Structure 1
Amino acid sequence: MRLPLIGTLKLRGRLTLYVTLLAVVPLLASSLLGLRTTHGMMQQQVHEMLRIEAEGLKDLVEASLAERETSVRSWAEDALLREALLTGSYEQSDAVLSRLQLRYTTFTGLVLFTEDGRAVSASTAPLRDSFAGQEVVVRDSPWFKAALEGRFTSAMLTEEDPVFGMQVLHLAAPVMESRGGRRLGVLLAAYDWGQVGEVVKTALARARARKNDSFALEVRTEAGSLLFDSRGKGAGRIANAVTAEAINGPELSDVGDGWRFVALSDQEDVYGSVNQLSLGVLGIALAAVVVVSLSAFLLARGVAQPISRLNQAVRHIVQEGDLTQRLEAHGDDEVGELARSFVQMVGNLKETTLSLQRGTQVLTDTVAELTRAAEQQENNITRQAAALQETQVTAQEIKQTSLIASERATAVLQVATRAEELGQGGVNALTESMSGFQGMQDQVNEMAAQIGRLNERAQRIGGITLTVKGLADRSNMLALNAAIEAVRSGEHGKGFAIVAKEIRTLANQSIHSTAEVGTLLEDITQSILKTVELSEQGQERMDAGLMKARSSGESIQALSTIVQDNMSAVRQIAGAVSQQNAGIAQIFTAMTDLSTMMHDTMVGLQATQRVAQALRDVAEQMQQVARSYRV
């Protein structure tokens, strides 16, 4: 298959393209494969680094929360706190809480509550006073309810506490009586949630050392609510961020079970080194492409230059037909061997051309002598063929004349026979026509009689119709009189009036129908009279046609006698013409055989002339080929 672009390139261009592709394609493939492998390894390293940071943050926060929870539970078991709740004297409990806060700076305050949510002791007096009157709020708070149940909760971590003025994690534990196990109150330790920022400083410092400024750590609840962000509050989400997370499992029970610790970074910062490496590799690959292309071009020029000189020599021989030029072959490679073979081929072609020119001259002379002999023989045969053609034409004319006479005699005989048959048939047909005319006349007479009887019956129906009309008129009059009498009778005559009305209606319908029947009978009578008139005219015409038919029959009988007399003479003429036609056919057959023999001779001579002409054409073509090269 010839490609649209590569098929138009010359040898030098194709060699340059092929060598470049052979060198560049593996180079680019290996470069792309290496970049892809490097990118995959870098991606795995980045994810592993983020996962380690997330796991480290999870372990630190989980350990810190577990330690704080343990501390709060141990503090809640302090005897002084129990005694303060039992006696109602809180000076010693205030001192205990104050010392604990000074020792554990991660807590922003400690408060002791009774079971009804009243703050009775705190690490500082202002802190205790801030809870004054907040008993209902304290009792309804999630951390207080969880403390009463003996567990910790982080439900209020997402909000800023109004008492402490910062985001704190409320770690509250119940204060129980030592012997009876009765709950005396609740100890609240407010853990400063901002201390998580101190925990992640080391991880952020490591990221800055790697020049990864977009690195961040987040703490989210199991539902996805944000609890902590190393970038600070209000920071937007990183677009196309690479993330890894660790989940605080139930292995170590603490308030943060289910939390998700997320480490994330921007892709541009993470993969910046890989992108720089990719650009470097692509630059090296482009430089290699340029070097390879230049080397391929020099190689192609060294290979194609001798072939170009050889091509020019071949083109000169083809276009000019010059075999006298001197060709030189250099080099011991395949191209040099091709050049030497071509020089040898040109020498052989030169010798072949000389031999062809000599043979062409001999062939031309031989064809010329053969052509002259064939032309002389053709002239002699042409004169003989002309004389034979004239004789054959004369015989053909005689044969055609005899054949026409025979055909005409046969046609006259056939016509006479047909005329005899038609004459006999005409006599028979005329006889049958006479019988038919007589029968038709009888039928016409019978039809006229039937029409007369039909006219009489129509007149009788007219009389009956007049009688019916008279009866209808009388019924109408009687119905009218009956209606008058019914009116006179009043109520007793109403039924009789209805009957009289119906009789009058029927009488009117009878009068109307009688009038229509009378009209139809009048039309039928007129039609019958017209039919009688036409029947009489047809009978007169039939009588006239019958007389003419009798006269025609007599004429046809006389004509049939004349035709029979002519039949004998026509048969004698047809017999003589048939004998004459048979003799002329024998003469024409002999002339035809002689003409066929002459035609075969002419065909053979024409074949000889065609062979001579073909030889002459071949000789001319060989001369043109021989003259196309100069030797």
Structure 2
Amino acid sequence: MRLPLIGTLKLRGRLTLYVTLLAVAPLLLSTWAGVSTTQEMMQAQVHEMLRIEAEGLKDLVEASLAERETSVRSWADDALLRESLQRDTYALSDGVLSRLQLRYTTFTGLVLFTDDGRAVSASTPALRDSFAGQEAAVRDAAWFKAAQQGRFTSTTLTQEDPVFGMQVLHLAAPVMEARGGRRLGVLLAAYDWGQVGEVVKAALARARSRKNESFALEVRTASGTVLFDSRGKDAWNIPNAVAEQAINGPEIPDVGDGWRFVALSDPEEVYATMHKLRAGTAVAVMAVVALAALAALLLSRGITAPITRLSQVVRRIVQEGDLTQKPDVRSDDEVGELARSFVQLVDHLRETTESLQRGTQVLTDTVAELTRAAEQEESNLTRQAAALQQTQVTAQEIKQTSDVAAERAAAVLMVATRADELGQSGARSLAESMSGFQALRDQVNEMSEQIGGLNERAQRIGGITQTVKGLADRSNMLALNAAIEAVRSGEHGKGFGIVAKEIRTLANQSIQSTGQVGGLLEDITQAILKTVELSEQGQLRMEAGMVQARTSGESIHALTEIVQDNMNAVRQISGAVSQQNAGINEIFGALTDLSSLMHETMVGLQATQRVTQALREVAEQMQHVARSYRV
């Protein structure tokens, strides 16, 4: 992989760079490790110093608070204070508080309160008067409530006390009855919180001696509220301060449990020595890097000078093709061995070039002969391909004609087969028709006989009709005579006359009906005669049709035999055409294979020509290369 910058450098530049890196890298690593270790040690020392100062401040304040709390509790057990509260006479208590104020100057004042918050005695009368009328405020004060519960609190330390006019720590303890345990009042000792500044003076002086002007100490509550800052009220902010803290634990119970004592300093100041060490180390390293780079440059120049001269000889051989040159390198190291090997390489290259020139001439002549033979072979194959293509076209036409003949022979065979089927079907139909005609003739004969019998029955019915008519005429005459006799009989013959009248009516109706039946019988007889005549004519025509159908059956049978003979002939012709078509297909397939073979031969010949052309070009290139060197 080529690096973006190093890949563009020449050998001299790369050698200078690599040697410089080999010389400088261990130095840089060791220097970096030393500086890092020193920096970590100095940082650890700074943090340890700050931690010690924070712990010292914590121990001092914690011991002071514990001592002050113990003192306040012992003062609250004083018998004179208890007696003053019981007797309500405070001259003795004022004296006690005044002496304590003079002895313990860290307290700014001491006040004795009753249990209802009234100030009854103080270290000074002015201080007692300052609490006059403030009983309610005293009872609501956090330190007073804590004292009534027997404990201390520091919640009021975060603000300035209005009575004392400063920031004080209210250390208040209950005054209890000696025997009954009843609370009599509360003793307040206001610890001057400004006295913490006297405690930290020694630590600040040590920091100034170390030239650490930014050193500061802070006291914070557990919530982070600042209770004390050695820099005063107008404390400046130290960005990214180096800080360590100590926490006031419950090992020694006091009012400051949970407070954080912080020692901090400006990092630019505490790390100034480390920054100077780092700058000096960087200057020394840069000087060493410059010396190493100079030495590496001189070394790489001594190594690459012979290689440069050898490269110039190689470039001249490549550009001018002059193999008679020899590099002027006098050295016994690896570069000298490379130069001598290069001289041997040039000698071998000279011999190879001479052999190459002779070989290229032979190769050129051989390629020329091979080209002429390939051209002659291509000409012959071209003529053969043209003749074969013409033969293939003719065979294709014959094949198409044979296919058409085979299709037509198959069509004629199908037509002949259909004609044979139709002839056989016609013969069967004609035989069935003859059978039908015979049955029809029998039915016509039978119908003629039945019509003749029907004619005879109609004549018989006519006779019966004449008889009935005669009977009706006689009944009419008898009825007429009966009517005449009934008239003659008068009244006795009226009933007989009515009967005679009815009989006469029936006789007339019988005569009319007989006339109608006679007319119908006449019509039936004429129809029967006409039917008999038509049956005789149909029978004659049927006989003539049967003769013609018999003649047609014989003709159809002869036609069927002719069609059968034609179908056999067509089947033989179709078989011969199929065999001829199969032979033509084989001939066409052979011609197609021969054409494919001829095409493959042409492709091979063209490939040979391409190879010959490539050999010609290679020979020309080899000849050009061989002639480009002077030997």
In the superposition, the TM-score normalised over structure 1's length comes to: 0.63
Instruction: Work out whether residues 248 and 260 of structure 1, in 8 Å CA contact, stay in contact via their aligned partners in 2.
Output: yes
Query: Aligned partners of 2:170, 2:389: CA distance in 1, in Å?
Result: 143
Query: Aligned partners of 2:149, 2:364: CA distance in 1, in Å?
Result: 132
Which amino acid in 2 is paired with 1:138? V
Please name the residue that 2:477 is paired with: none
Instruction: Work out whether residues 309 and 329 of structure 2, in 8 Å CA contact, stay in contact via their aligned partners in 1.
Output: no
With over 3 angstroms needed to count, the CA separation of the structure-2 counterparts of 1:54 and 1:432, relative to structure 1, is: farther
Please name the residue that 1:191 is paired with: 191
With over 3 angstroms needed to count, the CA separation of the structure-2 counterparts of 1:397 and 1:364, relative to structure 1, is: closer
Please name the residue that 1:18 is paired with: 18
Query: Aligned residues: percent identity?
Result: 69
2:316 match: secondary structure: helix
How far does residue 193 in structure 1 lie from its aligned partner after superposition? Answer: 0.7
Instruction: Work out whether residues 12 and 301 of structure 2, in 8 Å CA contact, stay in contact via their aligned partners in 1.
Output: yes
Query: Which aligned pairs between 1:189-268 and structure 2 lie closer than 5 A?
Result: 189-233=189-233, 235=235, 238-268=238-268
Instruction: Work out whether residues 328 and 343 of structure 1, in 8 Å CA contact, stay in contact via their aligned partners in 2.
Output: no
1:332 match: secondary structure: coil
Q: Does 1:420 align with 2:412?
A: no
2:155 match: secondary structure: coil
With over 3 angstroms needed to count, the CA separation of the structure-2 counterparts of 1:320 and 1:124, relative to structure 1, is: same
Query: Aligned partners of 1:375, 1:348: CA distance in 2, in Å?
Result: 37
With over 3 angstroms needed to count, the CA separation of the structure-2 counterparts of 1:245 and 1:562, relative to structure 1, is: same
How far does residue 579 in structure 1 lie from its aligned partner after superposition? Answer: 13
How far does residue 48 in structure 1 lie from its aligned partner after superposition? Answer: 1.7
Query: Aligned partners of 1:607, 1:149: CA distance in 2, in Å?
Result: 118
Please name the residue that 1:167 is paired with: 167
Q: Does 1:157 align with 2:153?
A: no
Query: Aligned partners of 1:190, 1:261: CA distance in 2, in Å?
Result: 22
With over 3 angstroms needed to count, the CA separation of the structure-2 counterparts of 1:560 and 1:130, relative to structure 1, is: same
How far does residue 197 in structure 1 lie from its aligned partner after superposition? Answer: 0.9
Which amino acid in 2 is paired with 1:324? T
In the superposition, the TM-score normalised over structure 2's length comes to: 0.63
Please name the residue that 1:527 is paired with: none
How far does residue 6 in structure 1 lie from its aligned partner after superposition? Answer: 3.5
With over 3 angstroms needed to count, the CA separation of the structure-2 counterparts of 1:559 and 1:625, relative to structure 1, is: farther
1:157 match: secondary structure: helix
With over 3 angstroms needed to count, the CA separation of the structure-2 counterparts of 1:156 and 1:562, relative to structure 1, is: same
Query: Which aligned pairs between 1:321-470 and structure 2 lie closer than 5 A?
Result: 321-358=321-358, 417-418=413-414, 420-421=416-417, 423-424=419-420
Query: Aligned partners of 1:4, 1:322: CA distance in 2, in Å?
Result: 36
Please name the residue that 1:628 is paired with: 628
Instruction: Work out whether residues 309 and 328 of structure 2, in 8 Å CA contact, stay in contact via their aligned partners in 1.
Output: no
Q: Does 1:319 align with 2:310?
A: no
**Number of matched pairs:** 508
With over 3 angstroms needed to count, the CA separation of the structure-2 counterparts of 1:43 and 1:424, relative to structure 1, is: same
Query: Aligned partners of 2:114, 2:395: CA distance in 1, in Å?
Result: 158
Query: Aligned partners of 2:565, 2:148: CA distance in 1, in Å?
Result: 159
2:171 match: secondary structure: strand
How far does residue 390 in structure 1 lie from its aligned partner after superposition? Answer: 12
Query: Aligned partners of 2:144, 2:301: CA distance in 1, in Å?
Result: 92
Query: Which aligned pairs between 1:579-598 and structure 2 lie closer than 5 A?
Result: none
How far does residue 161 in structure 1 lie from its aligned partner after superposition? Answer: 1.4
Please name the residue that 1:453 is paired with: none
Please name the residue that 2:133 is paired with: 133
How far does residue 404 in structure 1 lie from its aligned partner after superposition? Answer: 9.6
With over 3 angstroms needed to count, the CA separation of the structure-2 counterparts of 1:126 and 1:425, relative to structure 1, is: same
Instruction: Work out whether residues 248 and 256 of structure 2, in 8 Å CA contact, stay in contact via their aligned partners in 1.
Output: yes
Which amino acid in 2 is paired with 1:260? R
Query: Aligned partners of 1:396, 1:221: CA distance in 2, in Å?
Result: 116
Query: Aligned partners of 2:353, 2:572: CA distance in 1, in Å?
Result: 84
Instruction: Work out whether residues 416 and 566 of structure 1, in 8 Å CA contact, stay in contact via their aligned partners in 2.
Output: no
Query: Aligned partners of 1:209, 1:432: CA distance in 2, in Å?
Result: 151
With over 3 angstroms needed to count, the CA separation of the structure-2 counterparts of 1:256 and 1:346, relative to structure 1, is: same
With over 3 angstroms needed to count, the CA separation of the structure-2 counterparts of 1:130 and 1:333, relative to structure 1, is: same
Please name the residue that 1:299 is paired with: 299
With over 3 angstroms needed to count, the CA separation of the structure-2 counterparts of 1:76 and 1:358, relative to structure 1, is: closer
With over 3 angstroms needed to count, the CA separation of the structure-2 counterparts of 1:286 and 1:431, relative to structure 1, is: farther
| Bigger mean CA deviation after superposition, 65-74 or 82-91 | 82-91
Which amino acid in 2 is paired with 1:303? I
What CA deviation, in whole Å up to 9, does each residue of 1:246-276 have, x standing for no partner? 2222322322223222222333333343334
1:245 match: secondary structure: strand
1:54 match: secondary structure: helix
With over 3 angstroms needed to count, the CA separation of the structure-2 counterparts of 1:371 and 1:165, relative to structure 1, is: closer
With over 3 angstroms needed to count, the CA separation of the structure-2 counterparts of 1:110 and 1:366, relative to structure 1, is: closer
Instruction: Work out whether residues 55 and 246 of structure 1, in 8 Å CA contact, stay in contact via their aligned partners in 2.
Output: yes
Instruction: Work out whether residues 413 and 567 of structure 1, in 8 Å CA contact, stay in contact via their aligned partners in 2.
Output: no
Please name the residue that 1:94 is paired with: 94
What CA deviation, in whole Å up to 9, does each residue of 1:183-215 have, x standing for no partner? 554332221111011111121222233333332
With over 3 angstroms needed to count, the CA separation of the structure-2 counterparts of 1:366 and 1:66, relative to structure 1, is: closer
With over 3 angstroms needed to count, the CA separation of the structure-2 counterparts of 1:87 and 1:21, relative to structure 1, is: same
| Bigger mean CA deviation after superposition, 193-202 or 399-408 | 399-408
Query: Aligned partners of 1:181, 1:407: CA distance in 2, in Å?
Result: 144
Query: Aligned partners of 1:282, 1:559: CA distance in 2, in Å?
Result: 132
Query: Aligned partners of 2:153, 2:345: CA distance in 1, in Å?
Result: 104
What CA deviation, in whole Å up to 9, does each residue of 1:495-552 have, x standing for no partner? xxxxxxxxxxxxxxxxxxxxxxxxxxxxxxxxxxxxxxxxxxxxxxxxxxxxxxxxxx
With over 3 angstroms needed to count, the CA separation of the structure-2 counterparts of 1:347 and 1:130, relative to structure 1, is: same
Gaps of 5+ in 2: 433-551, 585-601
How far does residue 308 in structure 1 lie from its aligned partner after superposition? Answer: 2.5
What CA deviation, in whole Å up to 9, does each residue of 1:294-351 have, x standing for no partner? 4434433333332232222222212321112232222122122111110121122223
Which amino acid in 2 is paired with 1:61? V
| Bigger mean CA deviation after superposition, 94-103 or 408-417 | 408-417
What CA deviation, in whole Å up to 9, does each residue of 1:114-173 have, x standing for no partner? 344333332222112112222333333333344444443323222211111111112233
How far does residue 629 in structure 1 lie from its aligned partner after superposition? Answer: 1.0
Instruction: Work out whether residues 410 and 574 of structure 2, in 8 Å CA contact, stay in contact via their aligned partners in 1.
Output: no
Please name the residue that 1:73 is paired with: 73
With over 3 angstroms needed to count, the CA separation of the structure-2 counterparts of 1:49 and 1:433, relative to structure 1, is: farther
Instruction: Work out whether residues 220 and 227 of structure 2, in 8 Å CA contact, stay in contact via their aligned partners in 1.
Output: yes
Please name the residue that 1:51 is paired with: 51
